[in-house]
Amino acid sequence: MIGIAGAGKVGAQSALEIASRGLDDIALVDIVPGLAEGEALDISHRLSDAGVDVDVSGSSDFGALRGASLVIIAAGLGRKPGMTRMDLLSKNSGIISSVAKEAAKYAPDSTVLMVTNPMDAMTYVALKATGFPKARVVGQGGVLDNSRFKYVLAKKLGVSRGSITSVVMGEHGENMIPVASHTYVSGVPLTSLLTEEEVQQAIEDTRKVAADVISKKGATIFAPGVSVARMAAAIVNDTKEVLAASAYLEGEYGLNGLCIGVPVRLGRGGIEKVYEIKLSDRERDWFNKGADTLREAISTLAA
């Protein structure tokens, strides 16, 4: 069974995407009376039309997470127009700590997948609150950011999105790194197709696109939901897919004691391996800048 804590827009959309894939039964939990139950019913009706036979239930009691193999945390406050992800740090840290402890209580053998922003910092909070091994606490960000990078590049290059191979690393925020030096269009290096100025513009467009969506419709919903489902599938089905995700580092990339986006292999036990790739000097500078931001955020929480 998959538990989802937080039945707001992203939590509910994640539940719909996961259920539609028939991954496993789902237990939705939210402290707002009736919300999780209502979303569960709506999703179940949608699944009936598609002939998908998984059970989706809703509750305001965290006991519903009992026995879950995967707990997705999407609880907390979302970004408003004009806000950065880091603006949510103090407000969401207490919520996530409380929810993570409930996950550890009722699903002590689970893997935790963090969605709530500021995601990397909240992944760290969940890791400390659950007391789980670092492999079993992972944050969702790079998969979502990469989908946005592919969108930007496909429009700029006039090619199919499916022909683009890319990765987005670092802080899930203003310091994210769409890694141009490891981006290809069916094997053709991006750097041979765009000028340095065009590459940097594509990177900036990727960093700003979520704020643009939020300013126009109030929240990002569909892209985060499918990104969560992709990661959930890798964990539940033990596919060993390599995706960018927030992981707790102990020496990798020269960093210690924080969670940040890097390529990882995902399986039933969570993060099975962290991959280190060579970054350009500019990319390394951005990666370290994001790490500095996260280190400062963590020190604020500890104060």
DSSP H or E segment with residue 223: helix 222-236
Confidence check: pLDDT of 83 > 70: no
Report the distance separating Cα 23 and Cα 21, nearest Å: 5
Mean pLDDT of the chain: 95
172 is catalytic: yes
Structure tokens that stand for 200 in this block: 């940097």
Task: Domain ranges for the chain, please list them.
Answer: 2-139
In one-letter notation, the amino acid at residue 78 is G
pLDDT digits (tens, 9 = 90+) for 5-51: 999 999 999 999 999 999 999 999 999 999 999 999 999 999 999 99
Q: What is the DSSP string of 4-49?
A: EE--SHHHHHHHHHHHHTT-S-EEEE-SSTTHHHHHHHHHHHHHHH
pLDDT digits (tens, 9 = 90+) for 218-241: 999 999 999 999 999 999 999 999
State the pLDDT at residue 267: 98
Long-range contacts at 153-158 (CB < 8 A, ≥ 24 apart):
153/183, 153/185, 153/190, 153/202, 156/194, 156/198, 156/202, 157/185, 157/193, 157/194
Confidence check: pLDDT of 82 > 80: no
Selecting from 1.20.1600.10, 3.40.50.300, 3.40.190.170, 3.40.50.720, what CATH number does the domain 2-139 have? 3.40.50.720
Using 50, 70 and 90 to split pLDDT, how confident is the model at 87?
Answer: confident
State the pLDDT at residue 84: 63
Using 50, 70 and 90 to split pLDDT, how confident is the model at 300?
Answer: confident
pLDDT digits (tens, 9 = 90+) for 60-73: 999 999 999 999 99
Q: In what order do the strands lie in the sheet with 56-59?
A: 56-59, 26-29, 2-5, 70-73, 111-114, 137-139, 241-250, 256-267, 270-274
Confidence check: pLDDT of 197 > 70: yes
pLDDT digits (tens, 9 = 90+) for 117-176: 999 999 999 999 999 999 999 999 999 999 999 999 999 999 999 999 999 999 998 899
State the pLDDT at residue 81: 75
Instruction: Out of 85, 172, 182, 230, pick the active-site residue.
Output: 172
pTM, to two decimals:
0.95
Contacts of 239 (CB under 8 A, 6+ apart): 233, 266, 267
State the pLDDT at residue 159: 98
